[in-house]
Homo-oligomer: A and B are copies of this chain.
């Protein structure tokens, strides 16, 4: 087995629904341009508030993918 090399990028997903959906939205967007995604790491969870309620959950991820 060869010695793989990976790149990690940092993406922020947002969702009006949940923190998990914010993670999935970030990955769905990254999938449009990146192949061979292998793992993610949550770096930060935060969100916008409007009228005293959560308007968006925002989750910052690092996404690792194999460099061909």
Contact = CB atoms under 8 A, between A and B. Distances in A.
A30 B28 CA distance: 25
Interface residues of A, number: 50
Contacts of A5: 11-14, 25-26, 29-30
Interface in A3-60: 3-16, 18-31, 37-42, 44-49, 52-54, 56-57, 60
A4 B11 contact: no
B18 A12 contact: no
Contact of A3 (B14, B19, B49): B14
10 contacts: A5-B25, A7-B9, A8-B10, A8-B12, A9-B10, A10-B10, A10-B62, A19-B20, A19-B23, A27-B52
